[in-house]
Amino acid sequence: MKRLPENSAPRDAADRKATKPVICYPVDTLPKPEMSLYAAARKAMTLLEEVVVPPRDARTFRVAAGNFFRIVSIEGPQVGDLNMWAADNLAERFYSGKTRALHGTHVSTSDQMWSSFPYMRPMATITHDTLDWYGFDDFGGGVHDVIGTRCDPYTGRLLSGQ
């Protein structure tokens, strides 16, 4: 829980809080992926490779430009952390903060995963989401978030002291 404020509110606090927020990123101008092309390509997909990631472990795999990859939880609900790098330039990597700024904390079909500066381009587009039925719950949460990794031992040690 956040700490209680130590400072008194100014006289115009209610007016300040009532001010309409400024939209930093007007996403209505963001280029939209052509989802009908993805849907058509998905119909012709063939499996090229399968990588199974055991619980509490990691794996890497390459995806050629224009190909699809699918993440499936085969042993019930799991948390899967995903990181991406450009194969020919490891300085270009998935930028969760910019993805979050453009698409929100929770992503789903037609949202894109953006790369770091100075490249700033979509690295992947979510073309299908079998969990899209969830939508957003009463707390504003969805299923797939780009907040940050969950299962790293460093954060676990920081929070638990173990």
pLDDT at 62 over 90: yes
- How far is Cα 141 from Cα 93, in angstroms, rounded to an integer? 25
Q: What is the pLDDT of residues 75-91, one digit of tens each?
A: 877 778 889 999 999 99
Q: What is the pLDDT of residue 78?
A: 78
Do you know the residue count of the chain? 162
Q: What is the pLDDT of residue 38?
A: 95
The end-to-end CA distance of the chain, in Å, is 21
Q: What is the pLDDT of residue 54?
A: 87
Q: What is the pLDDT of residues 106-146, one digit of tens each?
A: 999 999 999 999 999 999 999 999 999 999 888 888 889 99
Give the CA count within 13 Å in the CB-facing half-sphere of 97.
2
pLDDT at 60 over 70: yes
Q: What is the pLDDT of residue 150?
A: 65
pLDDT at 56 over 70: yes
Nearest residue to 53 via CA among 151, 125, 120? 151
Higher pLDDT, 148 or 83: 83
Mean per-residue pLDDT, 9-14:
95
The answer for residues whose C-beta is within 8 angstroms of residue 45's C-beta and 6 or more apart is: 68
Q: What is the pLDDT of residue 1?
A: 73
Beta strands per DSSP E along the chain: 85-86, 89-93, 112-114, 122-125
pLDDT at 18 over 90: yes
